[in-house]
Amino acid sequence: MSRKKKKSPPLLNVLIEAYAAEGNSIARMEDGKVIFVQGAIPGDIINIGITKDKKTWAEGRMLQVVTPSPMRVKPFCQHFGVCGGCKWQMLPYHQQLVYKQQQVTDQLTRIGQVELPPVMTIIGSPNERYYRNKLEFTFSTQRYLTTEEIVNREEKIAPVPALGFHAPGLFDKVVAIETCYLQSEPTNLLINTLRAYTEANKLMYYDFKAQYGWLRNVIIRVATTGQVLVNLVIHHEDKEAREGIMKHIQDNVPGITSLHYTINGKVNDTIYDQEVVCYSGKPYIEEKLENFTFKISPKSFFQTNTVQAEALYKVTREFAGLTGTETLYDLYCGTGSIGIFCSAGAKKVIGIEAVPDAIKDAAENAAINGLTHCQFFAGDVEKICTDAFFAEHGRPDVIITDPPRAGMTEKLINQLLKMRAPKVVYVSCNPATQARDLQLLNAAYKVTRLQPVDMFPHTHHIENVALLELRD
């Protein structure tokens, strides 16, 4: 018979010594072993429950704050600690920036292990709240119950429907959200209007385990132009119910300029392969970055913090150092926003992206802005960037690459080493994978500038822009 591993007793009155990365802080056991803890900040004295115990390190969860750090402040959101977003609200924003700067420096140094210039001072967000332009809320038959609710219940609590955000690590449980500080109005008005209407009319929320129900998601985009797009996602057609709820939204939530619905009968929530129906208003909204206009439809990708996207792109454009004579290649170009933003300084812009729908949006965005020197191609960079392609379109003088969190593929890095553009501007949302890629690119490139930009206050996420110049 196998024996259950004996549970470690809690560690009491442990000092949190430092911040690590990815939202973790560091404490130590009596023997010096490092413990990584979520939710604590340096200076806290806490009680810790060990969740994972390895030979040289351990993971723990904070059971109680015995003595709070002098840095600790009261979170401003009633849902803090439950919904899983904005996990750093207990830390003043200026201190968040200190730790984010430290994270970039530590990861590039420790993982990259290449010669680096000093990391420039992080560019913080002028908006600490209401900075997102897109949020997605979920309807679920299962409201997430807190530990306190479960412990204090006198009898079993029947499942209660909820409209809000998925609970961390749980695909079927949703934290009911009343007020969210991530996105400006009419976001909170809309979700509370929907909650009241759906409860009054007994409309069925979706059960993710049974894969049964009607209401699935609502996606809200609020642009700095004042335009608002809403897309209600339902499981199947019910014309009477659909007409009722769409009209109720239209009549009771002012300011929506683009109202849609999508029928998604699949198991997963992705709508990129589903038809989106425009119920009222224009089929898209418009967003501005400097003087450039971008069309955003329900399926479009766009940086979720518009103000900081502009700051990030300004850094990218400065690092590119365009003089009007260069051929600029924009890899992972998405809907073309970076290439278009930098286009005034380039002789030609070539955008490459694996998603065909994004390429269509990129071409349309270039047309909206009257740009005739921007071309966009769908496919893998390694397959597109052949000698024949270079003969037709020109070799790159500057490359901008903005990969996903996983970083660039080894094939693409090898391709960059072959292309030998004089400059590469690497925009990253994950300094750890960026550091790995910089190490591989070190064979031909030297890192000459580094600039962190904070896109997501109250989270541990951080963007970093690196300028690489070809070695002599």
Take residue 135 and report the two structure tokens written for it: 């949020």
**Number of Cα atoms under 13 Å in the Cβ half of residue 383:** 6
Exposed/middle/buried for 294, CB within 10 Å: 0-12, 13-18, 19+?
buried
The gap between the terminal CA atoms of the chain, to the nearest Å, is 66
Residue 108, Cβ neighbours under 10 Å: how many?
A: 25
Strands (E), 214-320: 215-222, 228-234, 258-263, 276-281, 285-289, 292-296
Please confirm, yes or no, whether 429 is among the known catalytic residues.
yes
Marked catalytic residue, from 180, 333, 342, 429: 429
**DSSP letter assigned to residue 110:** I
Exposed/middle/buried for 118, CB within 10 Å: 0-12, 13-18, 19+?
exposed
In Å, how far are 128, 347, 403 from 413, measured between CA atoms?
36, 25, 11
* DSSP notation for 412-437: HHHHHHHH--SEEEEEES-HHHHHHH
Active site residues: 429
